[in-house]
């Protein structure tokens, strides 16, 4: 019976063995050791003076040693990490990439907010001055009011994009959810994969999923705000043209 490679109880444990008395290099014993990646490490043990060899069908790693115990021990150690290690490493790379992208978003949103703030402040100043003096024509006032409204919507979108996301069950959020310091130690000792994000690939996958959704939400907000800012600048130019024409 071939066990489930996803069951940690089988990782690194030889589950299939055979004996070939007529091998091309003399009698050989064959062992098949499952890996976490649904592959196997194939081990050939030579009872003669020839070296014993191993080969991983997943990553292609090979090894050889004169000692039967050494080659089996190293093959078992490789099988217990191959596949699982690859997945975890890939998740770590993706998480680092998403976190780097997340670190670039907030300064970008902040820059757009500064532009929107200047434009909104100028528009409100024009509206206030026109209301007090009554010099601007009605068309310019309407254009200025619409421009201020459009820019205000862009500001709201940018504020929503730059606000911190405090969800998830990893990092400082996980520790902050503990009742006290003893609760943090209890979670570490117990190895609760839902609270200690670095323990299992599944927890890392949850972290990657949550961070990716956060990055996408921020970019969606920015992508909606930028056209509104451009429309605001166009409205400001139109307001200036109408004001000059009205004078």
Pairwise CA distance, residues 34 & 19, whole Å: 18
Averaged pLDDT of the chain: 76
Residue 45 bridge partners (DSSP): 29
**Cα(54)–Cα(82) distance, rounded to whole angstroms?**
14
Q: How confident is the model at residue 51 (pLDDT cuts 50, 70, 90)?
A: confident
- DSSP annotation of 165 reads P
Three-state secondary structure call for residue 42: strand
Burial class (CB in 10 A: 0-12, 13-18, 19+), 45: middle
Residue 2 and residue 15 in contact, taking contact as beta carbons nearer than 8 Å: yes
Cβ neighbors of 10 (< 8 A, separation 6 or more) are: 3, 4, 34
CB 98 within 8 A of CB 205: no
pLDDT at residue 224 in the model: 93
Of residues 98 and 80, which shows the higher confidence score?
A: 98
Q: pTM for this structure?
A: 0.55
CA atoms within 13 A on the CB side of 235: 25
Sign, CA dihedral 144-145-150-156, equals positive
């Amino acid at each position: 019976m071939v066990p489930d490679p996803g069951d940690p109880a089988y990782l690194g444990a030889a589950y299939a063995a055979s004996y070939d008395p007529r091998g091309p290099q003399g009698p050989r014993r064959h062992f098949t050791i499952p890996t976490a990646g649904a592959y196997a490490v194939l081990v050939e043990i030579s009872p003669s003076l020839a070296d014993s060899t191993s080969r991983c069908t997943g990553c292609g790693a090979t090894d050889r040693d004169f000692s039967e115990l050494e080659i089996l021990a190293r093959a078992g150690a490789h099988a217990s990490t191959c596949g699982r290690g690859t997945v975890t490493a890939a998740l770590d790379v993706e998480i680092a990439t998403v976190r780097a992208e997340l670190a670039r978003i907030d300064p970008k949103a902040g820059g757009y907010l500064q532009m929107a703030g200047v434009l909104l402040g100028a528009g409100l100043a024009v509206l206030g001055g026109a209301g007090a003096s009554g010099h601007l024509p009605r068309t310019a006032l309407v254009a200025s009011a619409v421009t201020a409204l459009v820019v205000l919507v862009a500001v709201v979108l940018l504020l929503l994009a730059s606000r911190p996301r405090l969800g998830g069950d990893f990092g400082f959020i996980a520790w902050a959810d503990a009742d006290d310091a003893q609760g943090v130690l209890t979670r570490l000792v117990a190895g609760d994969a839902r609270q200690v994000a670095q323990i299992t690939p599944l927890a890392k996958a949850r972290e990657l999923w949550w961070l990716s959704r956060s990055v996408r939400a921020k970019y969606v907000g920015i992508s909606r705000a930028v056209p509104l800012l451009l429309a605001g600048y166009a409205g400001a130019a139109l307001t200036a043209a109408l004001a000059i024409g009205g004078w």
